[in-house]
Amino acid sequence: MKATFGTLLTVFGTLGMLGALIFPIDNFSYVAASITASGVKTAYPVQLAVEAHQAKHGVFPDAAMDSNFTSEVTIDDHHIGSIHLKHGGRIEITYDTQDIDWGISWWHQLLLIESNDLSGKTLVLVPSLAEGGIVWDECSEGTVPKRSRHYQCSGHQ
């Protein structure tokens, strides 16, 4: 029996649709990345204050100055738990996403796919001096998974 091209196309198309129903695309990675980006945007005034302090005093501020730098930051996003200044001018953003149903299903557990839940996870913005000024690195520190950070952190450059 010889299968025609149309028959093969129908069979593979049907298998593809069934696979999409059984193993849906993980769109929650995009949601987590959006929440992470929102945290970085919210911390921008603290970044500017750290840069101004470094320009004025020649050193990065430390954690003892946290209230001076974070007091004026308004956290409008309810998925951001806190923003704190750490040693060396590092800015630590802690997330709270407990209100989101992350859709952990049996196939996530079967394939050992990590949850996208960011609750209690941190992203640390690390300043460093460069020729043109201060460069902020969000890839090297914190507990937010790399897939939920800026695309440059994932290695897909």
User: What are the pLDDT digits (tens) for 38-76?
Assistant: 999 999 999 999 999 999 999 999 888 877 777 767 777
- What predicted TM-score, i.e. pTM, was given to this entire model? 0.76
Q: Where are the domains of the chain?
A: 26-154
Fold (CATH) for 26-154? Glycoprotein, Type 4 Pilin (3.30.700)
Spell out the residues 6+ positions from residue 60 whose beta carbon is closer than 8 angstroms to its own: 50, 53, 54, 88, 89, 127
User: What are the pLDDT digits (tens) for 72-108?
Assistant: 677 777 899 999 999 999 999 999 988 887 666 665 5
Dmax over CA atoms of the chain, in Å, equals: 82
